[in-house]
Amino acid sequence: MRIVVAGGNGFIGSHFVAAAVSKGHKVTVVGHRASPVVPHGRTFEFLPGGLLALSEAPELLARTDIVCHFASNSIPASSNENPAADIEDNLVGTVRLLEAMRKTGSRRLLFLSSGGAIYGRPQTTPINEDHPLNPMSSYGVVKLAIEKYLRMYQENYGFSPIVIRLANPYGPGQTNLGQLGAVNTFLHLALNGEIATLWGDGSTVRDFVYVSDVTSLMLAAVESEVTGTFNCGAGVGTSLLALIALIEKTTGKVLQKQFGQPRPFDPPEVVLDVTRARETFGWQPRVPLAEGIDLTLRG
């Protein structure tokens, strides 16, 4: 297949590109940097300039089987500080891409959404795809708006979108220390004798999913003709204090902790129901958290 990966330089994107290329797919990575950062030894094309450059590349879109949209310039912790920039960079940028795809006849798109930010405070646990959508951050609102635009383009222009709502991914190469990725952040802090800040009392529960499980679901989705929305997580909840205990056991280091006030945009518990993905694609998460922490440490 001919696959374009917007955000292919990022943590999830680079792992996905490596997996897709290893299966023989022809991949074009789209990123903001002037050169790609995907692992060496992988054969792929590269387009600098991000979503804007992709929107202005009709020849590329016209010969693409599927566009994978993993690009995002914000995170939940920072998006509320400048919602207008979040809208302009992520929502408007995505709509421009959809318009460019419509004009070139490209109709298949996989969008990486959020399995935490988009649902808001859970009314049931685990959370399935039919749960009410009440995001608590601009990041989640924009993700939801993009999903709605995808549905609009599906109904009006014959698009074939597939949405993956991702839990908390982790694994080798996740470098947004202190911003994204509790597993990688806590590992780094433990190994370097630094202090971890927990927002609240440490009882916050999250669904941590290893990156190879994420890429295997996304590849299964890309290689199918399925449309729809699918959760992607381990389907298991772990509190931050329990995560720290696993990290201390794996590293042999004691992680120092300090506690701050809970943040209003952090739901107390997010655990995803992944039944739909399992039944549709025959997929299931295979890497337990303890094993994943060890793989991340050695990666």
| Residue at 155: amino acid letter | E
Asked whether the beta carbons of 157 and 196 are under 8 A apart, the reply is: no
CA-CA-CA-CA dihedral for 168, 82, 175, 198, to nearest 10: -60
* Burial of residue 124, with CB atoms counted within 10 A of its CB: 0-12 exposed, 13-18 middle, 19 or more buried: exposed
Q: What is d(CA 129, CA 15) in angstroms, rounded to the nearest whole number?
A: 25
Torsional sign, CA 130, 234, 277, 43: positive
Gap between the Cα atoms of 207 and 289, Å rounded = 10
Q: Active-site residue among 139, 153, 170, 210?
A: 139
Q: Is 139 a catalytic site residue?
A: yes
Q: Which DSSP state fits 178?
A: T
Please list the helix, strand and coil fractions of the chain in percent, rounded to the nearest 5, in that order: 40, 20, 40
- Residues acting as catalytic residues: 139
